[in-house]
Amino acid sequence: MAEEEILKAWEQQPMLKPRIEKVVVNMSIGKSGEPLEKAAKVLKELAGQNPCKRKAKKTIRDFGIRKGEPIACMVTLRKQKAIEFLKKVLPVVDNKISKECFDERGNFSFGIKEHIEIPGVRYDPEIGIFGMDICVSLSRPGYRVKKRRIEKTKIGSKHLLTPEEAMVFVKEALGVEVV
């Protein structure tokens, strides 16, 4: 489908227009203790929300990681907070996202190597520099039928979001260039 056709279909049928369901920001540190606390502080400052810590699923001796040890922190943003965070973070990647970043359901992910590249964030030698992964989940109105508690149902194949539609939505809503 061409971009114009997709936009025209969204105008005629508002239930087809995608929306940002959530943005998950993950900082995997690989060790617990002080570095993880510093990363959580940075994430709280960036997202405006308390991050939760994630534990290691298995022991890896070479890296010095034990099962159950907290090694990462993450935060989930929804609605307006998610959009504001994306608008703050996307200039770091020059408002460009590769086609390979999109999956078959229209979700996309990208990474940032240094958090100090985000506009408005200053380098603090006591904290250090952290990278992060940002995963954006897109959905359409009506996807709730898949997740609701009573009478779960499958989403029809015609209502599923395609990568092409997701790319058009990201271009239109966030002003991002898909390369």
Read off the pLDDT of residues 145-172 as tens digits, 9 standing for 90 and up. 888 999 999 988 888 888 999 999 998 8
List the chain domain ranges: 17-178
- How much is the pLDDT for 25? 92
- How much is the pLDDT for 157? 86
Q: What are the tokens at 22?
A: 């959530």
Residue 81 CB-density burial (10 A; 0-12 exposed, 13-18 middle, 19+ buried):
middle
- Averaged confidence pLDDT in the chain: 88
How confident is residue 1, by pLDDT bands cut at 50, 70 and 90?
A: low
Q: Could you tell me if 169 and 105 are in contact, meaning their C-beta atoms sit under 8 angstroms apart?
A: no
- How much is the pLDDT for 29? 85
User: What is the Cα–Cα distance from 55 to 49, expressed in whole angstroms?
Assistant: 19
Q: Whole-prediction pTM value?
A: 0.86
User: What is the Cα–Cα distance from 1 to 128, expressed in whole angstroms?
Assistant: 46
- Spell out a b/e string for 6-24, using b for 16 or more CB atoms within 10 Å of the CB, else e: beeebeeeeebbbebebbe
Is residue 58 over pLDDT 80? Answer: yes
| SS3 call for 21 | strand
Is residue 114 over pLDDT 90? Answer: no
Q: Domain spanning 17-178: which superfamily?
A: Ribosomal protein L5 (3.30.1440.10)
User: What is the Cα–Cα distance from 39 to 49, expressed in whole angstroms?
Assistant: 13
Read off the pLDDT of residues 71-80 as tens digits, 9 standing for 90 and up. 889 999 999 9
Arithmetic mean of pLDDT, 75-103: 90
Read off the pLDDT of residues 41-57 as tens digits, 9 standing for 90 and up. 888 888 889 999 988 88
Q: In the block, which residue shows the tokens 């954006």?
A: 136
Is residue 36 over pLDDT 90? Answer: no
